[in-house]
Chains A and B, each alone.
Chain A
Amino acid sequence: MAAPLFKLMPRLPALREFFRLLYLDGVRSVGLVVLMAAALAAGEVRLMTDSLGLRSAYSVHLQWLVSVRVLGPLLVPVVFIARSGAAIAVSVGEMAGKGEWRGLRRQGINPFGIYVLPCTVAGSLSCMLLLCYWLATGVIISVVSSPNFDVLGELDLLFSQINGIDMVLALLRAGLCGAVASLITCWWGSRAELNDRDQGLSLPSLVSEGVLQALVAVLLLDLLSSTLIQPITLTSL
């Protein structure tokens, strides 16, 4: 699968764009994701132990399941869209609006290979990376914030119950949502080129429309994927 991708974007500017976006979206967003994951994990564990009276180790495991099956693959793409969606749409919109996409096409260069493909692959990988931060933070915070602070015991129990399928499915869902969100925001940004020929939409409205549609698409995709994979995850319990 990687070979056709690299055949499409083996060129230096495309690769540089890919690494730049991967750094911006997947590395620099770490603080926000860690903060959200920590707050949610602490809240969930407190709720489960204090209000529902669950055992501490069971709470940690339950928090892991909630993160890996529900919240992580859903909220990570939402954070990605909130932080990077507008930036992607604006940069594509500026390029398209200034006629740079048209200029590239005139030179026989496909703008898709220069910007959209690197952006999509970077968006997908960024969401997978952010999900890893999310899950790791969730585990650490839930163990630390549980009332019976038995780190080794709780981690041992957790890791004995972690299902690899859950992890792979969560990564795939997050990656797919990241790719779709990137594509949608790129597409809305690229409509600034049509705007040049009096379509009547300004770049700010295109950007907000792109971000909104990316959010809706991610929510629908999450609903669809969780419905489709539910039988797999339930049988793996």
Chain B
Amino acid sequence: MKLLPLQQLPQGSRWLYRGQNLVEKESVIDQLCAHANAEQLSYGLLSLKGALVSHLSLAENIWLPIGWRLPRRLGSVAHRARELLQCLGYNSDRASELLQSRSRDLTPLEAQAGILIRALILEPHLLIFDADWFARAQQQQQQPWQQTMAQLNGAAWIVVADAEQPLPSGNQWTSIAPGALLER
């Protein structure tokens, strides 16, 4: 079984995948991530469940996928994360406070901001969205959120949903049939 060649997805393209149920959705996200890892593709994962390790600070959570592979210092990543949090509308003190907070102490919106910032710092070619995260992000109508999300427009996006989740609408989205994602 071979997955879609993720590196060949055009930049800025938008893809939708609807699984039949939650188990299939989670399994597809697992496979996409494993495949992107195997291809050593720069990718960001935007999902809510289990996205942040609860006993680590937000700064460490943001740094972890970068620092695990590259010799990037926590301080430099935290500095960039603080700037991005300020772009999202948090003042400097609050941004520093959030970065030092354990992720279990964050509100859902703050956690979501942290996950977005982690994806931004990774400068991904591909973004894999859980439909839950995507739907919540779409609800954020504030200008800072929209502007920050726009920084990710150059990447290829894949939104993975289950049968009951709403999908984003618009002409730019291409549905992937369940069989088409996996090249056999």
Q: Contact check: which of A13, A98, A99 meets B64 at CB < 8 Å?
A: A13
Q: Contact check: which of A12, A100, A105, A107 meets B54 at CB < 8 Å?
A: A100
CB of B60 within 8 A of CB of A109, answer no
**How many residues does chain B have at the interface if contact means C-beta atoms less than 8 Å apart?**
25
CB of A106 within 8 A of CB of B45, answer yes
Q: State the Cβ distance, A106 to closest chain B Cβ, in Å.
A: 4
CB of B54 within 8 A of CB of A95, answer yes
Given A12-B74, A106-B29, A100 contacting B60 (CB threshold 8 A) = no
Q: CA of A104 to CA of B30 in the docked complex: distance in angstroms? A: 11
A94-120, CB < 8 A from B: 94-95, 98-109, 114
B6-53, CB < 8 A from A: 23, 26, 29-30, 33-34, 37, 45, 47, 49-53
Q: State the Cβ distance, B150 to closest chain A Cβ, in Å.
A: 24
Interface flag for A7 (CB, 8 Å): no
What is the interface residue range for chain A against chain B? 20 to 34
Q: CA of A91 to CA of B54 in the docked complex: distance in angstroms? A: 10
Chain B residues in 8 Å Cβ range of A101 = 50
CB of A103 within 8 A of CB of B49, answer yes
Interface flag for B5 (CB, 8 Å): no
Interface flag for B108 (CB, 8 Å): no
Q: State the Cβ distance, B142 to closest chain A Cβ, in Å.
A: 26
Residues of B within 8 A of A (CB): 23, 26, 29-30, 33-34, 37, 45, 47, 49-56, 60, 63-65, 67-69, 74
Residues of A within 8 A of B (CB): 11-13, 91, 94-95, 98-109, 114, 197
For the A-B complex with A13-B60, A103-B50, A108-B68 known, give 20 more contacts whose Cβ atoms are closer than 8 Å. Answer: A11-B67, A98-B54, A99-B49, A99-B50, A100-B52, A100-B53, A100-B54, A102-B26, A102-B30, A102-B50, A103-B51, A103-B52, A106-B34, A106-B45, A106-B47, A107-B65, A107-B68, A108-B65, A109-B65, A114-B53
